[in-house]
Chain A
Amino acid sequence: MNHTLSVFVEDKPGVLARVSSLLARRGFNIHSLAVGPSHEDGMSKMTIVVEAPELEQVKKQLHKLVNVVKITELEPDQSIEREVMLVRVSAASGRRSDVLEIASIFKAVAVDVGHNSICFQVAGEPAKINDFLELVRPYGVIDLVKSGRVALARDTKGKQPRLRAVN
């Protein structure tokens, strides 16, 4: 089962290596890991999607790292999850319009257009990105890269659950 963890860490050299090596050593599978600066100086935020039957152990072990300050588990319905994908789709002149049509539905942006291929940038919910990918796959995916998931908790104070569903 995949879990999304938001891990607030001190921005110290080696902190990424510490986190990833700890997860590997304890036998937890990293599905994706994204890291960058946070709202606080000297602190970074990692979004880790981890596959682990025992999430408590993952959290407790991560907490043992001196540079890890806070760990929050993000429930899918109470958080915003986003990913960016760059995907190069084979698009010979005859099939170009079909591909572009799918792209426009998904608000995928053509960021590089070549003679036989188009590279799209798609951003959004991981599920949406996967849907797009499945739809263009039959045309031939030549190359692909994903950013890894980033996520933040929603501001749920005083809101009804259904209002929160608005993106």
Chain B
Amino acid sequence: MTTMTGAQALIKALEHEGVDIAFGVPGGAILPAYDPILDSSIRHVLARHEQGAGHMAEGYAWATGKVGVCIATSGPGATNLVTPLADALMDSVPIVAITGQVPTGAVGNDAFQEAYTTGITMPATKHNYFVTDPDEIPQLVHEAFHIASTGRPGPVLLDLPKDILNATTTWHTPVDLSLPGYRPTVDGHPLRVREAVEMIAAAERPVLYVGGGIIKANGAGELRRFAELTNVPVTTTLMGRGAFPDAHPLAMGMPGMHGTYTAITAIQKSDLLISIGVRFDDRVTGNPSTFAPHAKVIHVDVDPAEIGKVRVPEVPIVGDARAVLAQLIEAWGERPTPERTAWRETVRGWQRDHPLRYQQSPDGPLKPQYVVEELHRITGGDAIVVAGVGQHQMWASQFWQFNHPRRWINSGGLGTMGFAVPAAIGAKAGMPDELVYAIDGDGCFQMTSQELITAATDGIPVKVAIMNNGVHGMVTQWQRLFYNNRFSASQLGNMVDYVKLAEAMGCVGLRADSPDEVAPTIEKSLSINDRPVVVEFVVDPEEMVFPMVPAGGSNDDVILGPTERVITAASDLP
């Protein structure tokens, strides 16, 4: 049997799992693993910061549905990965992180670049491993990929001491997994499924409240069939944008804090909430005790801990969203599709009376919503959109029409500023033939923009639209609404010349600061495909995101605009 090092076994094990690309930054403890990468089929992308490497792995996973891989050295390399790991845990993104560790004998001695990586990342991963035997590497890598990608997906970390990487071993082909404590449920309980179907057939004002679980389970096709079969209007959460086509007559857009009036109100008036792959996040429910007060709840989720965590459902169904939707379709059988005339008409009325809106005057300041709409129009919506965190993220989610899954990538649960640029790079690396357009804020951009050097160096031509309002806009919005216009520490200023900054990083830089420049500048950005392109849109710093349900408030109380407050009355009921 040919001998190899633990490091060679590691890289071979990654190849064995089908890894074609990894994002990382080398360093002392992980160096042994970097050498055999040169002889492997794996493309390595040298990130400029490990946080970037982690978000790249996430972007890759979001866009492709495959497991993203990132690599870092011990100590600071590993601690820099904590943010993307926590992000991936919150948003159920399948990634595997490989970290070097100081040699086994030095562990616990405060050795140079030692950090207790498995301890630090324990609450930020779905599972992690401290590897102590080089013979086990292929099996543990196999386990890591299995755990990351099955059940409720998430991040898994393998911490490998340098002596283990340098040790001599032989190749041990992974064998069948023995994980007695890890057996995710796929199919829903048939009895519950039948109960659910009966309730849906009997409901008068049902709403499908669906999220990231549909996308993770690749269940968008089944969802559409089921929604049409049962004639139930659909709201897609921030994590689930694209799980159901926005262009569909049953689509109501996003629920929650910055959701559409229609989606928010439909949930409040609903008598049956069919919740699939969602977790009743506080950004959706507001005050949970006033959320969907008239509704019975069906809750489908692959993670049993999500069921009943916030809202106790009448019908709990543990299972994979796609599998359960297929069961629901089957159980619905030959029943006729209900008309639901009154309910559909009520929903249409809300859509007609309270659409998302903004005002772009021809010579006034440029509105960020207009930029998003123009981007959508000019690209025909045919792009993967990656957002940062802040107002721009909400506008991107609101004003882009998502008609397919895996074309919207953002940091939903953790709300990680700086996510967009590296995640876009990961997405583009995984889907090189797709147009990948990040919509970022100026604050977010300044957190991770150096990864554009990675993109330029490694030939990953992403496009980044910066919504430059000169402020931490989401912070100023709260300060306007709740802190008496006292703008503490939210002013970014206008020091940065983004065109020059882009050029300095090997990208093309463009700028538009008036409405009539928007379209030609977007056209220009689309014509350049040999390098990353950064487009600065100088936008109105005073624009606010509406509708808005203030944090912890009731979804009955939607602020529709800067001077309006609408309290939906119970008499709205059909």
* B-binding residues in A (CB < 8 A): 9-10, 13-14, 17-18, 21-22, 25, 56-57, 60-61, 63-69
Given A66-B182, A69-B181, answer yes or no on A14-B118 (Cβ-Cβ < 8 Å): yes
| A66→B122 contact, CB < 8 A | no
| B181→A68 contact, CB < 8 A | yes
Q: Does B127 belong to the interface (CB within 8 Å)?
A: yes
- CB closest chain-A residue, reference B312: A56
Which one of A17, A61, A63, A65 lies within 8 Å of B119 (CB-CB)? A17
| B181→A56 contact, CB < 8 A | no
Within 8 A of A (CB), among B289-328: 303-305, 308-309
Chain A contacts for B118, CB-based, 8 A = 14
Chain B contacts for A14, CB-based, 8 A = 118-119, 122, 130
Q: Does B333 belong to the interface (CB within 8 Å)?
A: no
| A67→B130 contact, CB < 8 A | no
Alpha-carbon distance A65/B309, docked complex (angstroms): 17
Q: Does B180 belong to the interface (CB within 8 Å)?
A: yes
Number of A-B contacts (CB under 8 A): 42
Chain B contacts for A67, CB-based, 8 A = 181
| A57→B309 contact, CB < 8 A | yes
Within 8 A of A (CB), among B117-143: 118-119, 122-123, 126-127, 130, 132
Alpha-carbon distance A22/B147, docked complex (angstroms): 18
| B122→A18 contact, CB < 8 A | yes
* A-binding residues in B (CB < 8 A): 118-119, 122-123, 126-127, 130, 132, 147, 179-182, 303-305, 308-309
Chain A contacts for B130, CB-based, 8 A = 13-14
| A10→B123 contact, CB < 8 A | no
B152 → chain A, closest Cβ, in Å?
8
In order of increasing CB-CB distance, the 5 nearest A-B pairs are A60-B305, A69-B181, A66-B127, A66-B182, A69-B180
- CB closest chain-A residue, reference B156: A66
17 residue pairs bridging A and B, Cβ less than 8 Å apart: A9-B181, A10-B181, A13-B130, A14-B118, A14-B119, A17-B119, A60-B305, A60-B309, A63-B181, A63-B305, A64-B305, A66-B127, A66-B147, A67-B181, A68-B181, A69-B180, A69-B181
A59 → chain B, closest Cβ, in Å?
9
Chain A contacts for B309, CB-based, 8 A = 57, 60
Alpha-carbon distance A22/B123, docked complex (angstroms): 7
| B127→A56 contact, CB < 8 A | no
B139 → chain A, closest Cβ, in Å?
14
Chain B contacts for A60, CB-based, 8 A = 304-305, 309
Given A10-B181, A14-B130, A57-B305, answer yes or no on A25-B147 (Cβ-Cβ < 8 Å): no
Chain A contacts for B305, CB-based, 8 A = 57, 60-61, 63-64
Alpha-carbon distance A124/B303, docked complex (angstroms): 39
B536 → chain A, closest Cβ, in Å?
41
Chain B contacts for A9, CB-based, 8 A = 181
| A25→B123 contact, CB < 8 A | yes
B354 → chain A, closest Cβ, in Å?
37
Chain A contacts for B308, CB-based, 8 A = 56-57
